[in-house]
Structure 1
Amino acid sequence: MKKILYTILLTLGTLSFSSCTDYINVDKYFYDQVSLDSAFSKRVYVEGWLSSAYGVMDRIGEYREPFRWASDDLYHPDMQEYVEGNYSADHQISDDNRNESRLWKYYEGIRKASTFVENVDRCPELTMDEKTDMKGQARFLRAYCYWALMRVYGPVPLIPTEGLDVNLSYEDLSLPREHFDVLVDFVDKELSETARSLPTKRTVNNLGRPTRGAALGLRARVLLYAASPLYNGNTDLFNVKDCYGKQLVSQTYDEAKWAKAAAAAKDVIDLATASGLYELYVIPPRATVLPSQRPPHNDLYSDKNYPEGWANVDPLLSYKSIFDGTILGSKNPELIFTRTKEGTGHINDWAYQATPKTLKGNNRLAVTQKQVDAYAMNDGRSITEAQAAGDYQKEGFTTQAYATTNPFLPAKVSLMYNNREPRFYASIGYNGSLWEASSASEPEFRDFQVFYYRGLNDGKQGFKEDCPLTGVTLKKFYNQEDSRTEGGYLVAKTEMTIRYGEMLLIYAEALNELSDGQVYHLATYTGGDVAIQRNVDEMRYAIKRIRMRAGVPDYTDATYNNRNDFRVKLKRERQIELLGENSMRYFDLRRWKDAMIEENQLLQGCNINISDDEKRIADFYKPTIITSVHKVFEQRMYLWPFPTYELKRNVNLTQNPGW
């Protein structure tokens, strides 16, 4: 026993855990139980256990999940099987190793967190404040694990918080799936209570640990998902049942769920207002900025400071700086939660996947034509509205770099990319965009203009498609100093796992879905009372901040007063503002039940089969169907299938319909 105990404590001290073969493993639980008195006897062991529980955040990160490049905004060949629907209970790309599967990892995280919460009070070397904080961290991790499971599989088993009785047989430990609303209520309560115990701010060295704002932010995200059409009275999911035949998704629409989501987002906004911790990040225009580089004059906004206008805002740099490493996470008022070390690595991988081959990148991450067309003109009009007025050009090219008529474009670039809103230039790597790579030691790699014409180094060569299949890539996470060539370096980025901009969008969306005149009195996370109703002023408070930072006009009164019109514009706003973040688009289309339409549209982009022959280059920009990718979405794909081997492990686990 002493030898076993020594091994356990040594393992804890080195922050590593041996893996087990079942996500609810009886032997593993017994192994933990006999060691608990010692494992929680010293600070170093307690900190080791908690650090081990944090390990699940690497797996849980939306920036590394396969969903990130498998929707209608971004595409990567590595995700082709997901896009084409080539997955099943027996074949899931990321779950080849059952001990590393998504389901196993998340339940392992839940188990570790629950054991920690139960036993941390045993440690005599910790103060009460330290124990309270650590419990809050573990409960946050547990809630995040459940959220990660729920958004993929829907209803999942709910593990008792007090741990499992090691005397039970494996069959007794095999728990059935729980009703989705019960899971939501559990996570809601966990995060509300956790928020009260967590500090409002962390030191720089503890930036990756959750705060009060992180708990409230995750809570708002979960409640928004629960209020959305996928789980709010969705009769299409009538056959999602447990092993006893009980329905697990409510078949009755409940508007109050939207009110709860709005109240949760308001908790974050009120915390931001009271503490001064959170706000959208804005940078004032530099003295060298030319008038042509400012948003077109608008009588309502050009001469007013943020948040009433954009007079003191550089929209392009304000948006891009929070993603490309220009501002440290510890200095960014918009950051609510980040995964720090793992997040930095995954963000730089995104940049690598998009970086051109010439600059030693993977060169295969593509932005779809649908996403490109979603961006408005610099005056806020859609490209369709601008084209009807003769203000959107599809033909012709720039002849001079960064001229007054094309202030954000180099020479030889299609005019279809001219005069777009600032978030376009912060995010999109169009054909002919400039990659500064200022840290490169070789001059030929600095200020490199990248073209994806066929036959060029960064374009399609022969039948080899080592290039963005749409002829457009993502630059949102690229810093102008980044260079992968010899002598260069990469600027460290902070992953925006939860940010304030998302909270504003949640608040506006949830309020919009409430019936006019209906008032809901709900409890805040502190137990106070808050009245929630569809209030145009409150919706404008949230959306206007997003729009002013972006340098585009706010919505009209007519839009705010029209629920359907506002919903359409809100969906577009999320598509643009949250591009490439946390697999948002993938799960937005599913929670809105829009995936059957949006995900079945053909993948389109530029024609990468066109060379740089001057007589033909205009054909490169004609919207072209990517015939090598066959997008498929079926009704059953709203919920993922449980892997077959998990169904064998847990005899009470039922498969999602259609799989």
Structure 2
Amino acid sequence: MKKLLYTILLSLGTFLFTACTDYINVDKYFYDQVSLDSAFSKRVYVEGWLSSAYSVMDNIGEYCEPFRWASDDLYHPDMKEYVEGNYSADHQLSDDDRNNSRLWKYYEGIRKASTFIDNVDRCPELTMDEKTDLKGQARFLRAYCYWALIRVYGPVPLIPTEGLDVNLSYEELSLPREPFDNVVDFIDAELAETARSLPIKRTVNNLGRPTRGAALGLRARVLLYAASPLFNGNIDFFDVKDCYGNQLVSQTYDETKWAKAAAAAKDVIELAKASNLYELYVIAPKATVLPSQRPPYNELYSDKNYPEGWADVDPLLSYKSIFDGTILGSKNPELIFTRTREGTAHINDWAYQSTPKTLRGNNRLAVTQKQVNAYAMNDGRSITEAASTNDYVTEGFTTQAYAAENPFLPAKVNLMYNNREPRFYASIAYNGSVWEASSASESDYRDKQIFYYRGLNDGKQGFKEECPLTGITLKKFYNSEDSRTEGGYLVDKTEMTIRYGEILLIYAEALNELTSGQVYHLTTYTGADVEIQRNVDEMRYAIKRIRMRAGVPDYTDETYNNPNDFRVKLKRERQIELLGENSMRYFDLRRWKDAMTEENQLLQGCNINISDDEKRVADFYKPTIITSVHKVFEQRMYLWPFPTYELKRNVNMTQNPGW
């Protein structure tokens, strides 16, 4: 009988929360009162309900959401309609066959979490500590879902946490959009309270459940977004209004928002210091390492240990290992939060999309020339600076003799990829790079040098563009053991949903935006006073760790003391360090209001129409416009359009301007 009841309750929950497509549809509130006493009477039912709430985040998370390959760093043909602006209120792109917006489905998670919070105390089989923890997890999930909504749509309806009166009329139950700052304040307060109730660490079996650091890390991310130009005094959003004509985005710039973001990031940093919990992951150089595998000598950093230098760090492996499965998530001090249930599958899909056709991959995920050019030389100079002294060249190829001394480049590789910073070799698969595929049972598939010249197996064949359109692909999530050929296997990866490196970048960026000499007194998540101001030493503390782990020199004093120069370099640092993570670049360009400039630039790469004919091979590397992709970004695209069918269901919802 118990088994039957459990089945009935799960079936009921499935029907109530997934059978309808309108996740904010007010009709559902009439069904919230059904079987709640039964649903929260047993521990197993409670765990099933919370698991169902987790599944929303797992199935629509940031590594599988629609924007992951739709910015100026990566391109995939599946994202063509996104980058060309072929979407609207009636054409959402992410809908399923039932007119069901995947993005809007986050409201399902919000409702499941709210119902859980309101009812979990009913369960007699749980201790008070267990109830506190479970409610904290549900609050985290609810805040995460709201965060996922506001960064796409801007101001959204805020569901009352205490539920709605079912005696109200249908129209009265329809919710208008809430001012953006109100939603952020709600998320901020929820995550602060959540952080106080969640444990500092989880067991290995519960790695995918949020901790105190996860709540604080997400809070810092949300507050950084709210402080950024898109929603901090953005007069372009003067016409973002609710159904009553009220402005939903403040038209007044408030520097305090940057201070709040810095304070939130500092909460994570102080937690890391106090508990010895978080730090950037580093690996010591192997005894057999060649001098050419080390960053060039720098008198300030080469002889000092991390974080003052890189003497005891292998920059390439230290960075790459946190993404390719080399280190388990439970052993990685940089990991703050991960989604273990679906995360591995999503990351392996990234690897599949970039793996060459020769190795049974999809072979279509492309890295743009713009992203390649963002990487510095191995001495920290930009390629523009290095070109002025002829240290960066775009002509000529490596030879066998050269490759024997340079482990980063095999023979027949263009010299434009020579002497680049370690994160380049950890992330980018240029034309002629080697795919080890060491788990392949047949030796013919191991240590393959893959070229994307026209006519080759992994290049363009005839009119078929079943290859990276830029002639460059991604290697960041690829493990040297990975092989999809017969007998091969994939190494499981840990999704870096929130990591310490991002927190350090948030802290430095937020501090940089504060007026020099201005001091802010704010409260930590525990209620203690904290003093926040633009402090070069604090900014250096954050950035230097990122740079030393990467094996590139720290910024100069001139850069740290110049907010404009620091801002430019910080944006470049995020572009490189966070490549491919959490759709970060897509939303960074929007929150900075840089998308009108950056996203309207033509998509460029190598010329994949060039064969490997020795007389023409050099032409492959000439920057080439990808004419089959017509990038478009308009002012209205800073906010995603609400689905038309949702506007019809909720009479008090207003559409974003321009849609």
Normalized against structure 1, the TM-score is what? 0.98
Contact map agreement 1:401 1:409 (CA 8 A) in 2 = no
- 2:595 alignment counterpart: 595
Residue identity in the other structure for 2:350 = W
Contact 1:353 1:362 in 2 (8 A): yes
Gap change, CA 1:95 and 1:21, over 3 Å in 2: closer
Following superposition, the deviation at residue 402 of structure 1 comes to 6.4
RMSD value over aligned CA atoms?
A: 1.7
Rounded Cα–Cα distance in structure 2 between residues aligned with 1:639 and 1:6: 42
- Structure 2 counterparts to residues 96-175 of structure 1, below 5 A: 96-98=96-98, 100-175=100-175
What secondary structure is seen at the aligned counterpart in 1 of 2:506?
Answer: helix
Distance 2:10 2:248 in 1: 43
Secondary structure, counterpart of 2:482 in structure 1: coil
Residues 145-544 of structure 1 mapped to structure 2, 5 A cutoff: 145-400=145-400, 403=403, 406-544=406-544
> How many residue pairs end up in the alignment?
658
> What SS does the aligned partner of 1:379 have?
coil
Q: Give the SS at the match of 1:646.
A: helix
Is the 8 Å Cα contact of residues 14 and 48 (structure 1) preserved in structure 2?
A: no
Aligned residue in 1 for 2:77: 77
Deviations 1:114-145 (A, max 9, x none): 00000100111000000000000000000000
Alpha-carbon displacement from aligned partner over 1:579-628 (angstroms, at most 9, x marks no partner): 00000000000000000000000000000000000111000000000000
In 2: Cα distance, 1:115 partner to 1:509 partner: 37
Note if contact 2:242-2:653 (Cα within 8 Å) is conserved in structure 1.
yes
Counterparts in 2 of 1:38-57, with a 5 A limit?
38-57=38-57
Query: Is the 8 Å Cα contact of residues 25 and 650 (structure 2) preserved in structure 1?
Result: no
Q: 1:163, CA displacement in angstroms?
A: 1.6
Give the equivalent residue in structure 2 for 1:90: 90
Aligned in 2, Cα 1:232/1:79: closer, same or farther, shift over 3 Å? same
Counterparts of 1:537-616 in structure 2 under 5 Å? 537-616=537-616
Q: Which amino acid aligns with 2:546?
A: I
Match of 1:657 in 2: 657
CA contact 1:15–1:51 (8 Å) conserved in 2: no
C-alpha distance in 1, partners of 2:425/2:33? Answer: 56
Whichever residue aligns with residue 138 of structure 1, its letter is A
Residue 173 of structure 1: how far off its partner (Å): 1.7
Q: Name the CA shift for 1:21/1:473 in 2 (closer, same or farther; >3 Å).
A: closer
Note the alpha carbon deviations across 1:517-573, whole angstroms, 9 max, x for none: 000000000000000000000000000000000000000000000000000000000
Superposition deviation, residue 30 in structure 1: 3.3
Structure 1 residue 68 corresponds to structure 2 residue 68: yes
Change (3 A) 1:356 1:6: closer
Match of residue 642 from structure 2 = 642
Which amino acid is 1:126 matched to?
Answer: L
Q: Which region of structure 1 is more displaced relative to structure 2, 11-20 or 25-34?
A: 11-20
Give the secondary-structure state (helix, strand or coil) at the position aligned to 1:47.
helix
Q: 1:263 and 1:517 mapped to 2: Cα distance?
A: 16
Hey, what's the Cα distance between the residues in 1 that align with 2:14 and 2:154? Answer: 35
Mapped to 2, the partners of 1:264 and 1:308 lie a distance apart of: 25
Partner Cα distance (1:392, 1:24) in 2: 55
Q: Can you list the C-alpha shifts for 1:478-532, whole angstroms capped at 9, x where unaligned?
A: 0000000000000000000000000000000000000010000000000000000
In structure 1, C-alpha distance between the alignment counterparts of 2:169 and 2:363, rounded to whole Å:
52
Q: Distance in 2 between matches of 1:274 and 1:632?
A: 47
| 3-state SS of paired residue (1:531) | strand
Using the alignment, how far apart are the partners of 1:141 and 1:99 within structure 2? 24
Moved more, 588-597 or 49-58: 49-58
In structure 2, C-alpha distance between the alignment counterparts of 1:567 and 1:291, rounded to whole Å: 33
Following the alignment from structure 1 to structure 2, what is the Cα–Cα distance between the partners of residues 57 and 370? 31
Separation in 2 of the partners of 1:12 and 1:197?
Answer: 30
Please, which moves more after superposition, 402-411 or 565-574?
A: 402-411
CA separation in 1, counterparts of 2:174 and 2:59? Answer: 24
Q: Give the AA of the match of 2:58.
A: D
Asked if structure 2 preserves the Cα contact closer than 8 Å seen for 1:436 and 1:481, the reply is yes
CA distance in 2, matches of 1:147, 1:18: 21
How far apart in 2 are the matches of 1:99 and 1:378?
50
Q: Is the 8 A contact 1:440 1:488 kept in 2?
A: yes
Kindly indicate whether the alpha-carbon contact (under 8 Å) linking 2:6 and 2:45 is maintained by their aligned counterparts in 1: no
Structure 1: how far apart are the matches of 2:10 and 2:233?
51
Q: In structure 2, what is the Cα distance between the partners aligned to 1:474 and 1:42? A: 47
Deviation at 1:14, TM superposition (A): 9.8
Q: Deviations over 1:21-71 (max 9, x none)?
A: 431345543333131111111111111111111111123311111211110
Distance across 1 between alignment mates of 2:23 and 2:135: 22
Is the deviation greater in 16-25 or in 527-536? Answer: 16-25
Bigger drift between 63-72 and 223-232 goes to 63-72
Q: In 1, distance between residues paired with 2:607 and 2:26?
A: 56
Judged with a 3 Å threshold, the aligned counterparts in structure 2 of structure 1 residues 104 and 393 are, in CA distance, closer, same or farther, namely: closer
Residue identity in the other structure for 2:280 = L
1:60 touches 1:145 (CA, 8 Å); kept in 2?
Answer: no
**Contact in 2 for aligned 1:579/1:585 (Cα 8 Å):** yes
Q: How far does residue 164 in structure 1 lie from its aligned partner after superposition?
A: 2.2
Q: Which moved more, 1:566-575 or 1:30-39?
A: 30-39
Which amino acid letter does the alignment assign opposite residue 308 of structure 1?
Answer: E
In 2: Cα distance, 1:132 partner to 1:428 partner: 44
| Consecutive unaligned residues in structure 1, runs of 5 or more | none
Distance 2:402 2:315 in 1: 17
Q: Which residue of 2 aligns with 1:628?
A: 628
- Give 5+ residue unaligned stretches, structure 2: none
Contact 1:60 1:148 in 2 (8 A): no
The answer (yes or no) to whether the contact 1:99–1:105 under 8 Å persists in 2 is no
3-state SS, counterpart of residue 69 of structure 1: coil
Cα drift, residue 167 of structure 1: 2.6
Q: Secondary structure at the match of 1:521?
A: strand
Q: Aligned partners of 1:43, 1:524: CA distance in 2, in Å?
A: 34
* TM-score (normalised: structure 2): 0.98
Aligned to 1:542, the other structure's residue is in SS state helix
Q: For residues 352-375 of structure 1, what are the alpha-carbon distances to aligned partners after superposition, in whole Å with 9 as ceiling and x for unaligned? A: 000000100000000000000000
8 Å CA contact 2:60, 2:103 repeated in 1: no
SS of corresponding position for 2:67: helix
**What is the distance in 1 between the residues matched to 2:5 and 2:646?**
30
Separation in 1 of the partners of 2:293 and 2:325? Answer: 23
Residues 284/20 of structure 1: CA separation in 2 closer, same or farther (3 Å cut): same
In 2, Cα distance between equivalents of 1:490 and 1:163: 45
| Partner Cα separation in structure 1 for residue 13 and residue 33 of structure 2 | 17
Provide the secondary structure at the position in 1 that maps to 2:530.
Answer: strand
Distance across 2 between alignment mates of 1:404 and 1:519: 55
CA gap of 1:328–1:402, structure 2 versus 1, over 3 A, is farther
Would the alpha carbon gap of residues 268 and 408 (structure 1) be closer, same or farther in structure 2, given more than 3 Å must change? same
Alpha-carbon distance in 2 for matches of 1:272, 1:99: 44
Amino acid at match of 2:440: A
